[in-house]
Structure 1
Amino acid sequence: MANITFKLRKPNANTQQLIYLVYRFGRNDKLVYSTGLKVLPRYWNTEKMRVRNLVEALGKEAINERLNLLFSASENFCIETKAKGYEVTKESLKNFLDVFTGKTKSVNENTFHGFVEAFLIRNKERTNPNTGKIISYKVQQEHKRTFHYLQEYERERLNGKQLDFNDITIDFYSDFTAYLQSLGLALNTIGHKIQTLKVWLNEATFKGINTNNQYKNQRFRAVTEQTDSVYLSVKELEQIYSTDCKSERLNKVRDLFLVGAFTGLRFSDVTSLTKDNIKGSTISIEQHKTGKRVAIPLHPIVINIWNKYGEKLPKQISNQKFNEYIKEVCKLAGIDSIEQKNITKGGFRVRQSFKKYELITSHTARRSFATNLYLSGFPAISIMPITGHTTERAFMRYIRVTPEQHAELLRKHWIDSGQYMKIAK
């Protein structure tokens, strides 16, 4: 296989050099993997990519035999991977070579633990079947956290016994969720853990590794509840826009947040905007999460921010840092009204009070966009393609509209339609 070659790190050196296995992925990408073997460059045959058959080349037979094994194993791995319909990637080939050379232990995917460990490794190159794009870092971290909680559960509740597929029963579900509640996790957080567990089990079932289908029982469900997430009114957004944070770091976060609040784009889409996405006075972008193209007119505030940075936006920072900084921004802007939040935590319904800025995250921008448009009388059916909601029911759960605001919308409708005037006559 021409894609696999062996090269020396420094072919013209006078000292022993490491031999590297090189696998090329097209013209511009390659995996360079250390075999751990060394040879003096003068004993190396560049054309044959093996140690020369010279008396003074000590250990040549052992080195060449090892190189032959590495070549054959790598070649067979690539052939078998492609035959199964998978793509050979740098990550998958490196993981295989790590196991083959003994750098890491092989895992038995026929066990639950072995399957999940292998799944977590493949997660770095796994694609979303709906979009064809690599699974996001956030989702990858959720999978790792879920496995961590399962391992903690095994230590605490099973005296260290490892779960296997046949152990994932309705009784396990009840005990595992009770354990997570005892840790004080919120109901939605527990729901995410169960949903992730079901992703693993679906994959293992599809591959014929798991035959226990109790996880498909309707009682084995990822329970969720509607959260009391906040939104920012147009007035509050303008208040933030007019606030000078006296810090370049915070001003950049403020501006990115406002772009999200006046476009409805997710944080990952906002930070990936380029000139190519601007068509006249409209943003046209394929959303990272859904793969669907949306077109959004440029709001005056977005235009000002876009021009401020020379027809681009500030560089992306981690979502964690963004959420930390945007709270500082909103505190400086005086977004400090007292908000009540209900949450199921540790199995109990708890009501807590917060200053509003404490509840602001990157996602608040998107929720504010949808809520403000709806309250202005803009039809939900026209907002949904931007937010990605496929049903009006899901959209109405997403936005934050109080009963009083619904009443005001109805009153406005009666006034605009002239019904108040008819009654007055």
Structure 2
Amino acid sequence: MAETINVLCYKSKTLSNGEHPLMIRICKNGKKKYVSLGLSVKAEHWNFEKNIPKPNCPNREHINILIANKKKEYETEIVKLKSEDKLFTANTLNERITSSVKPRTVEDTFKEYISLLKEENRRGYMLSVQQVYNSLIKYNKHLDLYFTDLDSAWLKKYEAWLRNNGLAENTIGIRFRTLRTIYNYAIEKDIVQAEYYPFKKYKVSKLNQETAKRALSKENIDKILHYQSKNRFMRLPIDLFAFTYYAGGINFVDIANLTKDNIIDNRIVYKRCKTGKLIKLPLTQQAKEIISKYHNPNNPYLFPVFSAQHITEQQKANRLHKVITNVNRRLKQIGEELKLPIPITTYVARHSQATIMKKAGVSTAIIGQIMGHSSERITQIYLDSFDNEQINDAMKNLF
């Protein structure tokens, strides 16, 4: 038997204001289910033959829109259930509708997602999401709104505001990719229906800008590695740059967290802070010499970034920010002195070693595994398929 969805004025029940509630009536297999619309009208304002509000009904336009949207919601769910060959009753259909969209705001969802990242100890990405949250608050004054409010017109206005505030194209792109991630999370958690997804019309890809070259040739890498200075404060930045290069492009935050426990069978074994992926790399002679230089029996860490006194996440974050700022500032000074083509940072070492291996013919998949690119699908496919010898051979191209 075909199911029907109707809206009617429930005249048998009269409210204290003298009006009658409007009800959704679901008919399926001879059984009926009534669900309140949360609205009521007086009998004289309702056409009982056509089950629509009369022209003289107050808020008639609003009521008609609400009725149309609610009927569409139920009818769409029926089509979905039938396309999946799923059986349903009037009760189960209503349960799916009432539980499908939870009334959570953009504010609620951002805070939930940030809290989730914090629990996963993904502090770097958490701070990036927090930055976008702060930007949206500054733009809109509040986020006490629903995801359906974030349509393409709203996004275009936000983009214009960002440009008027002088943000670079890549920074704007990061803002929108993060916002898109939050919207996808909201869809996944049934906070908003996928049909409202605004990024089908508003294309984030248009904000992508080719990133400036961040890799150096072997010759320029050698200039940095052999740089000499009487300034003792220049030694740590050079050594951290060199260790990044010799240790498979390891990120600065992962270097900071290394302890002697990460050295196993002449290999560096650690989990990337960003992705949680397990990395196992050969400990090259050059990397060993750098580690030995900073050996301190009173410090559990291999490098003088953290110490035993850095216990809380906030203490570590503050210390990390301070050290990386100083290291990159001094590396930039070295790069200018050597007249290198790009500003030097520890990330340049990471990018350069990957580029040098690629030019030497090392496969993208092996480079991805060395660098811990868990987001690359090809790397995931081959994640456990390379033996130590293959990775050892790949990294020989750096020397």
Residue in 2 aligned with 1:171? 153
Residue 276 of structure 2: which of 291, 302, 314 is its match?
Answer: 291
Offset, 1:220: 3.2
* Counterpart check, 1:302 vs 2:287: yes
| Partner Cα distance (2:255, 2:174) in 1 | 25
* Counterpart check, 1:152 vs 2:138: yes
Offset, 1:364: 1.4
Offset, 1:145: 1.7
Relative to structure 1, is the Cα distance of residues 306 and 161 closer, same or farther in structure 2, using a 3 angstrom cutoff? closer
Residue 269 of structure 1: which of 245, 254, 257 is its match?
Answer: 254
Residue in 1 aligned with 2:303? 313
Residue in 1 aligned with 2:40? none
Residue in 1 aligned with 2:212? 228
Residue 126 of structure 1: which of 114, 119, 123 is its match?
Answer: 119
| Partner Cα distance (1:221, 1:392) in 2 | 25
Over alpha carbons, which structure has the higher Rg? Answer: 2
Asked if the contact 1:370/1:383 (under 8 Å) is kept, the reply is yes
Residue in 2 aligned with 1:48? none
* Counterpart check, 1:112 vs 2:106: yes
TM-score, normalised to structure 2, is: 0.56
Asked if the contact 1:284/1:296 (under 8 Å) is kept, the reply is yes
| Partner Cα distance (1:268, 1:152) in 2 | 30
Residue in 2 aligned with 1:361? 345
Deviations 1:397-418, CA, capped at 9 Å, x for gaps: xxxxxxxxxxxxxxxxxxxxxx
Deviations 1:62-114, CA, capped at 9 Å, x for gaps: xxxxxxxxxxxxxxxxxxxxxxxxxxxxxxxxxxxxxxxxxxxxxx9733334
* Counterpart check, 1:204 vs 2:189: no
Give, as a single letter, the amino acid of the residue that structure 1 aligns with 2:170: N
Residue correspondence of structure 1 range 15-414 to structure 2 within 5 A: 110-117=104-111, 119-120=113-114, 122-123=115-116, 125-127=118-120, 134-136=121-123, 138-154=124-140, 163-211=145-193, 213-215=195-197, 217-223=199-205, 224-263=208-247, 264-310=249-295, 312-316=302-306, 317-319=319-321, 321-332=323-334, 336-337=338-339, 339=341, 356=342, 359-389=343-373, 390=376
Across the aligned residues of Structure 1 and Structure 2, the Cα RMSD in angstroms comes to 3.2
Asked if the contact 2:152/2:198 (under 8 Å) is kept, the reply is no
| Partner Cα distance (1:308, 1:198) in 2 | 45
Relative to structure 1, is the Cα distance of residues 309 and 368 closer, same or farther in structure 2, using a 3 angstrom cutoff? same
The 3-state SS of whatever aligns with 1:271 is helix
The 3-state SS of whatever aligns with 2:280 is strand
The 3-state SS of whatever aligns with 1:318 is helix
Identity, in percent, stands at 24
Asked if the contact 2:268/2:280 (under 8 Å) is kept, the reply is yes
TM-score, normalised to structure 1, is: 0.52
Asked if the contact 1:166/1:212 (under 8 Å) is kept, the reply is no
Relative to structure 1, is the Cα distance of residues 183 and 320 closer, same or farther in structure 2, using a 3 angstrom cutoff? farther
In structure 1, list runs of 5 or more residues that go unmatched. 1-107, 128-133, 340-355, 394-425
Deviations 1:99-142, CA, capped at 9 Å, x for gaps: xxxxxxxxx9733334434554x256332xxxxxx222x22222
Give, as a single letter, the amino acid of the residue that structure 2 aligns with 1:209: I
Give, as a single letter, the amino acid of the residue that structure 1 aligns with 2:360: S
More helix by share: 2
Residue in 1 aligned with 2:37? none
In structure 2, list runs of 5 or more residues that go unmatched. 1-101, 297-301, 307-318, 380-399
